Amino acid sequence: MIYSPLDELEVNQDQVNIYGVVVDASLPYKTSNNKYVCTIKVIDQSHNTLGNEARESYKFVNCIFHGKRIEDCP
């Protein structure tokens, strides 16, 4: 098994610092409770590939950002 800092992340922590590459991102959108949500998909250096592997095999982290205003989202 390959060691990865992404494998050690715990759910429901208030602050997490990671170093990785954003491989996908959504535009902020408004939810039914008048807040904005934006998601990004991040991988780290231990999960890079040559590009010929199936996309389903990539390990990644989805980061979800919430904000009261659209400017609060990345």
pTM: 0.60
Would the pLDDT of 24 be above 70?
yes
Position 23 pLDDT exceeds 90: no
What does the pLDDT average to over 28-57? 77
CA 53 to chain CA mean position, Å: 20
Query: Residue 33: is its pLDDT beyond 60?
Result: yes
The per-residue pLDDT for 50 is: 62
Question: What is the number of H-type helices and E-type strands within the chain?
Answer: 0, 4
Residue with the bigger pLDDT between 46 and 62: it is 62
Q: Is the CB of residue 53 less than 8 Å from the CB of residue 32?
A: no
Which domains does the chain carry?
5-72 (2.40.50.140)
pLDDT, residue 40, reads 92
